Amino acid sequence: MENKEEVLARVEAKGVNRREFIKYATLVTSVLGLAPSMIPKVAEAMTAKQRPTVIWLHFAECTGCSEALLRTTYPWIDEVILDILNVAYHETIMAPSGKAAEKSLHDAMAKYKGKYILVCEGAIPTRDGGLYGRVGGRTMLSIAKEATKGALATVCIGNCASFGGVQAADPNPSKAKSVSEATGVKTVNISGCPPNVVNFIATVVHFLLLGKLPALDDNGRPLFAYGSTIHDKCPRRAHYEAGEFVKKFGDAGAMKGWCLAEMGCKGPDTYNNCSLIKFNDGTNWPIGAGHPCIGCSEPSFWDEKSPFYEPI
Ligand code: SF4
């Protein structure tokens, strides 16, 4: 086992600033609800030489979740992610295309059968046997069934893979479903549109540290991230309790940072940790920027949480 200095030296050799790396490891540790004494272990897991193999599949989606992962403002985190994961197949970042890509997927699933973590991005069209979503001539439905069957675990990233997302919104012409509904396989759901990358990293680190996936809620979401509502941890909560509400974007209440409930905020019905970890490396989050929560990490949020700017 490497000591802390060896871990940091290896990270620095990649051109990663050690202070920033420790800052990120501290964030992941706190997201997991672990004691600060675990920071070195988390840092070690993030740079482990034993890397879990990942096959990352895109179904019906916009690739926003992959973009959220790769376009982080830490210029190095994608390198660390790609280093802690043995990414055997990822359609956005891999070199092969066409038939070579199909062969890569086939080979990766055969080589790592029963050992790979399958990451799914996007919903699965199921109408007419899945005819309305195909990759390389195969339906997404048949690819998902085969890939989930051979996986050690399946992690859905984003609302579409987790719950169907916009593809499954009414009238849902392709009868799109979540990966779990379409395949019958239990999945770990890192929901959100997009989800916070930190929650995905923390799930992987949990697996690396403890050898198992984290405890989940009834919707398959890790409890460390989705265990309480946005409303529970909202910095505007005192204004809610005091009856101080924004009535119109840009009004005096908005300037004072009052509660956005009357602007349609879905925070009371939405489980996520956005207020704690924020986005863009802790810069801000929707409610922090004066926008109501739209409930993007909840099942059926397009149908059940809209219209977004009206109270439910
Ligand atoms: S802004 Fe939304 S989440 Fe925050 S206190 Fe008001 S209703 Fe709750």
Confidence of residue 17 (pLDDT cuts 50, 70, 90): confident
HSE-up of 285 (CA within 13 Å, CB side)? 27
Q: Do 212 and 140 lie in a common domain?
A: yes
At 154, phi and psi to the nearest 5?
A: -120, 125
Does the pLDDT at position 110 exceed 70? yes
| pLDDT value at residue 216 | 97
| pLDDT value at residue 77 | 58
Q: Do 190 and 232 lie in a common domain?
A: no
Q: Do 168 and 210 lie in a common domain?
A: yes
Nearest to 188 by CA among 214, 160, 210: 214
Q: What is the mean pLDDT of residues 3-23?
A: 75
Confidence of residue 41 (pLDDT cuts 50, 70, 90): confident
Q: Do 79 and 164 lie in a common domain?
A: yes
Domain boundary among 225, 247, 274: 225
CATH classification of the domain holding 284: 4.10.480.10
DSSP three-state, residue 175: coil
Does the pLDDT at position 295 exceed 90? yes
Lookup: tokens for 287: 């409610």
Q: Do 159 and 276 lie in a common domain?
A: no
**Ligand 1 closest atom vs CA 267:** 3
Q: Is the CB of 287 under 6 A from ligand 1?
A: yes
| pLDDT value at residue 83 | 63
| pLDDT value at residue 280 | 80
CATH classification of the domain holding 207: 3.40.50.700
Q: Is the CB of 266 under 6 A from ligand 1?
A: no
| pLDDT value at residue 204 | 86
Q: Do 116 and 53 lie in a common domain?
A: yes
pTM of the predicted structure, to 2 decimals: 0.91
Does the pLDDT at position 78 exceed 80? no
3-state SS, one letter per residue, for 131-155: CCCEECCEEHHHHHHHHHHCCCEEE
**Ligand 1 closest atom vs CA 234:** 4
Q: In angstroms, what is the span from residue 292 Cα to ligand 1's centroid?
A: 8
**Total number of domains constituting the chain:** 2
Domain boundary among 191, 225, 259: 225
Q: How far is CA 284 from CA 110, 193, 229, 291, in A?
A: 42, 16, 18, 11
| pLDDT value at residue 192 | 97
125-173 confidence digits (pLDDT tens):
999 999 999 998 999 999 999 999 999 999 999 999 999 999 999 999 9
Q: Which residue segment(s) compose the domain that 47 sits in?
A: 4-225
| pLDDT value at residue 80 | 60
Q: Is the CB of 268 under 6 A from ligand 1?
A: yes
Q: In angstroms, what is the span from residue 89 Cα to ligand 1's centroid?
A: 40
Q: Do 37 and 174 lie in a common domain?
A: yes
Q: Do 182 and 41 lie in a common domain?
A: yes
Q: Do 84 and 118 lie in a common domain?
A: yes
| pLDDT value at residue 297 | 98
Domain boundary among 193, 225, 257: 225
CA-based torsion, 14, 20, 22, 26: positive or negative: negative
Does the pLDDT at position 8 exceed 80? no
Q: In angstroms, what is the span from residue 23 Cα to ligand 1's centroid?
A: 28
Q: Do 82 and 130 lie in a common domain?
A: yes
More confident residue, 45 or 35: 35
Listed range (4-8, 32-36, 71-75, 137-141) with the worst mean pLDDT: 71-75
Q: Do 55 and 75 lie in a common domain?
A: yes
Q: Do 296 and 149 lie in a common domain?
A: no
Q: In angstroms, what is the span from residue 250 Cα to ligand 1's centroid?
A: 17
More confident residue, 291 or 72: 291
How many whole angstroms from its chain centre is CA 248? 32
Cα–Cα distance, 198 to 42 (Å, whole number): 13
Which distant-in-sequence residues (6+ apart) come within 8 Å of 183 by Cβ? 124, 144, 145, 148
How many whole angstroms from its chain centre is CA 43? 20
| pLDDT value at residue 59 | 96
Nearest to 8 by CA among 36, 46, 38, 35: 46
Residues pairing with 57 in the sheet = 120
Taking all residues of the chain, what is their mean pLDDT, rounded to a whole number?
89
Cα–Cα distance, 257 to 251 (Å, whole number): 10
Q: In angstroms, what is the span from residue 229 Cα to ligand 1's centroid?
A: 10
| pLDDT value at residue 2 | 58
